[in-house]
């Protein structure tokens, strides 16, 4: 169940994560770069719960605008990464860098 009020969103799950049957993560991704900044834009095709971008696995000095983002099907979120390294779509969108709760409770 999804509830929104005052610009905030809450998603209620009717079971604990370890008993949920999340689908295999499916998404579209694009990466754009400028000096010192990379943007990873994810568009979910299925519910993706608690998307976690572990950027420190690629660059321990990197920072992110946000983490642990839940996306409903069709929603888009852009991770803004501050890093001097050249980061690729492949390196940013595969495990162990990109994870979500879906990986741990797949059908």
pTM of the model: 0.86
2 contacts 72 by C-beta, under 8 angstroms? yes
83: closest CA among 66, 47, 59?
59
Indicate the helix (H) or strand (E) that contains 33: strand 27-34
Tell me the C-alpha to C-alpha distance, in Å, between residue 68 and each of 35, 77, 85.
25, 11, 23
Residue 36, SS3?
coil
Q: Report whether CATH 2.60.40.10 matches the domain 21-104.
A: yes
70: closest CA among 31, 30, 101, 38?
101
- How is the chain split into domains, by residue range? 21-104
Per residue in 53-105, pLDDT (tens digit) is 999 999 999 999 999 999 999 999 999 999 999 999 999 999 999 999 988 76
């Amino acid at each position: 169940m999804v509830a929104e009020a005052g610009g905030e969103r809450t998603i209620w799950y009717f079971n604990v994560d370890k008993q949920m049957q999340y689908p295999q993560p499916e998404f579209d991704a694009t990466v754009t770069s400028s000096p010192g900044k990379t943007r990873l834009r994810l568009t979910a095709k299925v519910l993706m719960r608690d998307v976690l971008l572990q950027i420190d696995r690629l660059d321990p000095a990197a920072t992110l605008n946000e983490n642990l983002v839940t996306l409903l099907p069709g929603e888009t979120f852009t991770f803004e990464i501050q890093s001097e390294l050249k980061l690729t779509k492949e390196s940013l969108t595969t495990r162990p860098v990109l994870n979500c709760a879906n990986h741990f409770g797949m059908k």
